[in-house]
Structure 1
Amino acid sequence: MLQDLQIFGFRALWSPYYALFILTLALAYLIIFINRKDSKRVNVEQVLYFYGGLVLLYIIKGSPMDLMSHIMFTAHMLQMALYYLLFPILIIKGIPTWAWRKVFEVPVLKHVLKLLTKPLIALLLFNGLFSLYHIPIVFDFAKANEWAHSSISITILITAFIVWWPIFTPIKEQDKMSPLLKIGYIAANGILITPACALIIFSSEVIYNTYGATGGWIQALALCVPGDVLSGLSLSGPDMFSPLGIVEDQQLGGIVMKITQEIIYGTVLARIFFPWFRSGTDKIDSLPSTHRTEQI
């Protein structure tokens, strides 16, 4: 399939300008956080998280995955799952606590963040906007308008950082949820995102005109393919790049989103549950051996 995509050219496939943006972020992190001589210097784990996040970001937004997300709904849903459910975790854990404190100390912003990062508000905000985005009329409009697409994507990404903050916050005084509440919080996220996936998975009709053969997908391609390249191509429909029918692709996209979400949420749940369970087990005193002997 990648060979078929070569007709769109190098710029559409590998986004050199986005690669430059990623390299700029990498250099800024090196200067601000790594190349320090004081106690504020980041550790190896934080470096791996942050640069891992940048690599993932380029795969999501700079590699052929981004182009495919405008052709196949399955690729779009995989892109969304990685972008909103995994990428924020890596960045949150990659940036040191002192830097996050500065963000939360900005005069006006600190009050907004204090409100939005409350677990219930964060939960409803992210899942509500994610579901709203996948309403057909909203989705098709966003895919046909560059400014709307960018604005909506960035807004949901911000709420994705917010929804993960109560779980991964490095600021101790903000880490107020017990392990049990965190488990319930993640489970609630999984439940709230399910209706949007279910409607997509079980629909027997084409929901999004963007992925139809009537021209909507050409408008979506214009978001990532240079105009001079796109105008010179003869394209019949998305089926020329996909072995799946439109409905099958749509259903598979919902399944991919749900499975990817379950894997990410399940991994986070395991990292919370098992240390909590072990810490509880360690507090249980074993029966003294002398007492057992007396009993025998």
Structure 2
Amino acid sequence: MFDDFWLQGQLLWNTPLLAGFIMAGVLYGFLLVNFTKGKIHPKQPILFFLGLGLLYITVGSPLSTISHLSFSLHMIQMSMLYFIIPPLLLLGMRDSWLTKSTRINKIFLPPPAALYTFAILFLLYHMGVILTFLSQHSNVHNSYLLVLLYTSFSMWRPIVNGQNERYAMLSGLLLLPACILFIFNASLGEVNNPLLAQMTATLCFTPSEFSSFNLLPAPFNTRLDQMMAGFLMLGMHKFALIVTVRLGKKVQMHDWGRDG
């Protein structure tokens, strides 16, 4: 799911993943039409399909490979994947699907456990030693990213409900160290992009033949790029928190067709 799609040095779109997402969209529409009582608010399917589309662009398009070219592009991808897409998909789902279904509830981790687990794993992921190791072992890397995605959905559930602003504040505080880590490393002059190094090795290119400097202008892959990545992650997470809390409150206020 998270692999890079290259063929003879050219970027590709993941067609099998697109087919899977189309099937997921069809299933969502079927459930919404046939197993929902009451009026359906138009914002719910819009939010769900927006989240599904962004998920495909993030992991199934050339962006999944382009994001390796610099820290800031990589952080945009990670922020989309864990801070934007999960709340969009959850907001697009029926309240009864998430709260009244015992089977679905068992899938998710308890919110506090999910939040602390995600914060720790996300911080570790962006430590140089860990990221270098993961970039050299694609199966472990993909598994790690899937665990992050799973915990992010569990982490966003109470925020989507629009009734737990203290939890939202705690989320912002716990994810702050990962942002600070990037900024701190940049201040020390550490500019090491193992994802780019692994990509050039996979394509049998040397850094002089293929690097972000040949494709992207300054300040990519510099100290400023690494510092920018930390601020981007911080800003996108805060933005996601504010918008999700507001949308969650509107969901509750307008009673988006709860099953009676």
- TM superposition score normalised by structure 1: 0.70
Q: Distance in 1 between matches of 2:133 and 2:40?
A: 42
Q: Distance in 2 between matches of 1:37 and 1:270?
A: 27
Correspondent of 2:149 among 154, 157, 172: 157
Q: Distance in 2 between matches of 1:161 and 1:191?
A: 18
Correspondent of 2:94 among 93, 96, 117: 96
Whether the 8 Å CA contact 2:115–2:152 is kept in 1: the answer is no
The change in CA–CA distance for 1:66 and 1:40 in structure 2 (over 3 A counts) is: farther
Aligned partner of 1:51 in structure 2 is 49
Map 1:63-212; keep pairs closer than 5 Å.
63-100=61-98, 104-105=102-103, 110=106, 113=108, 116-118=109-111, 120-169=112-161, 179=163, 182-203=164-185, 204-206=188-190, 208-211=192-195
Map 1:16-31; keep pairs closer than 5 Å.
16-31=15-30
Query: Does residue 2 of structure 2 align to residue 9 of structure 1?
Result: no
Whether the 8 Å CA contact 2:71–2:193 is kept in 1: the answer is no
Q: Distance in 1 between matches of 2:228 and 2:61?
A: 21
Q: Distance in 1 between matches of 2:189 and 2:235?
A: 22
The change in CA–CA distance for 1:256 and 1:65 in structure 2 (over 3 A counts) is: same
Q: 1:240 offset after TM fit, Å?
A: 1.6
Q: Distance in 2 between matches of 1:125 and 1:88?
A: 16
SS in 1 for 2:103: coil
The change in CA–CA distance for 1:88 and 1:232 in structure 2 (over 3 A counts) is: same
Structure number with larger C-alpha Rg: 1
Q: 1:207 offset after TM fit, Å?
A: 5.2
Q: Distance in 2 between matches of 1:248 and 1:91?
A: 33
Whether the 8 Å CA contact 1:211–1:246 is kept in 2: the answer is no
After alignment, is 235-244 or 202-211 more displaced?
202-211
Identify the structure with bigger relative contact order (alpha carbons < 8 Å, sequence gap 6+): 2
Aligned partner of 2:59 in structure 1 is 61
Q: Distance in 2 between matches of 1:37 and 1:265?
A: 30
Q: Distance in 2 between matches of 1:210 and 1:263?
A: 28
Which AA in structure 2 matches 1:160?
A: S
Query: Does residue 233 of structure 2 align to residue 257 of structure 1?
Result: yes
Offset from partner CA, 1:122-177 (integer Å, 9 cap, x none) = 321221121121122221222222211211111011111111112224xxxxx9xx
User: What number of residue pairs does the alignment pair up?
Assistant: 242
Q: Distance in 1 between matches of 2:176 and 2:145?
A: 20
Q: Distance in 1 between matches of 2:44 and 2:96?
A: 13
The change in CA–CA distance for 1:151 and 1:40 in structure 2 (over 3 A counts) is: farther
Q: Distance in 2 between matches of 1:194 and 1:164?
A: 16
Q: Distance in 1 between matches of 2:94 and 2:247?
A: 20
Structure 2: give runs of 5+ residues left out of the alignment: 1-5, 253-260
Q: Distance in 2 between matches of 1:166 and 1:117?
A: 10
- TM superposition score normalised by structure 2: 0.78
Q: Distance in 1 between matches of 2:66 and 2:44?
A: 31
Identity of aligned residues (%): 25
Structure 1: give runs of 5+ residues left out of the alignment: 170-174, 223-229, 277-296
The change in CA–CA distance for 1:267 and 1:134 in structure 2 (over 3 A counts) is: same
Whether the 8 Å CA contact 1:197–1:255 is kept in 2: the answer is yes
Correspondent of 1:238 among 212, 215, 223: 212
Which AA in structure 2 matches 1:16?
A: T
Q: 1:91 offset after TM fit, Å?
A: 1.3
Q: Distance in 2 between matches of 1:194 and 1:38?
A: 39
Q: 1:20 offset after TM fit, Å?
A: 2.2
The change in CA–CA distance for 1:206 and 1:242 in structure 2 (over 3 A counts) is: farther
RMSD: 3.3
